Amino acid sequence: MACAGWQSALDPQGPEARHLSDLFWTFTAVVAAVWVLTMLALLAALRRRRPADADPLATNPVVEGRMTKVIATAVGLTAITVLALTGVSYATQKRLFSTHVPGVTIRVIGHQWWWEVRYEHAEASQAFTTANEIHIPVGEPVTVKLNSSDVIHSFSVPTLFGKQDNITGRENEIQFTAEREGIYRGQCAEFCGWQHAHMSLLVVAKPREEFERWRVQQIKAADPPTDPERTKGQEVFLSKPCVMCHSVRGTPAGGKVAPDLTHIGSRQQIAAATLPMSRGNLAAWIVDPQGIKPGVHMPLIKLDPEEVDPLVSYLEGLK
d(CA 7, CA 80): 34
Q: What percent of the chain has pLDDT over 70?
A: 98
- Residue intervals of the chain classified under CATH 2.60.40.420 are 1-47+99-207, 228-316
Instruction: Answer yes or no: are the C-beta atoms of 279 and 269 closer than 8 Å.
Output: no
CATH topology assigned to domain 1-47+99-207: Immunoglobulin-like (2.60.40)
DSSP assignment of 161-229 equals: ---EEE-TT--EEEEE---S-EEEEEEE-S--STTGGG-EEEEEEE-HHHHHHHHHHHHSPPPPP-SHH
Task: Quick: pLDDT tens for 97-126.
Answer: 888 888 999 999 999 999 999 999 989 889
Q: What letter represents residue 130's amino acid?
A: T
* pLDDT attached to residue 3: 57
pLDDT tens-digit readout, 119-151: 999 898 899 999 999 999 999 999 999 999 999
Model confidence pLDDT, tens digit, residues 60-105: 788 788 888 988 998 999 999 999 999 999 999 888 888 888 899 9
CATH topology assigned to domain 228-316: Immunoglobulin-like (2.60.40)
pLDDT for 308 beyond 90: yes
Bridge partners of 185, per DSSP, are 202
Q: What is the pTM of this model?
A: 0.85
pLDDT given at position 135: 97
Residue bearing the bigger pLDDT, 48 or 12: 12
